[in-house]
Structure 1
Amino acid sequence: MRQRRWIKLLSDYDCEIRYHPGKANVVADALSRKVRDKPLRVRSLVMSTYTDLSERILKAQLEAVKQENVKAENLGRLLKPIFEIHSNGIWYFKNCVWLPLFGGLRDLIMHESHKSKYSIHPGSDKMYQDMKKLYWWPNMKADIATYVSKCLTCAKVKAEHQRPSGLLQQPEIPEWKWEHITIDFVTGLPRTSSGYDSI
Structure 2
Amino acid sequence: MRQRRWIELLKNYDCIIQYHPGKVNVVANALSRKSVGSLVAIKGCQRRLVEDLRSLHVHIRFLESRALVTNFRVQPNFVGRIKALQKNDLKLVQLMEKVKKDSKPNFVLLDDGILRFRTRLCVPNDGDLRRELLEEAHCSRLAIHPRGTKMYKDLRQNYWWSMCQQVKAEHQRLAGSLQPLSIPEWKWEHITMDFVIGLPRTLGGDNTIRVIVDRLTKSAHFLPMKINFSMDRLASLYVREIVRMHGVLVSIVSDRDPHFTSKFCHSL
TM-score bracket, shorter-length normalisation: 0.3 to 0.5
The structure where strand makes up a greater share of residues is 2
Q: TM-score, normalising length from structure 1?
A: 0.47
Greater relative CO, 1 or 2 (CA 8 Å, sep 6+): 1
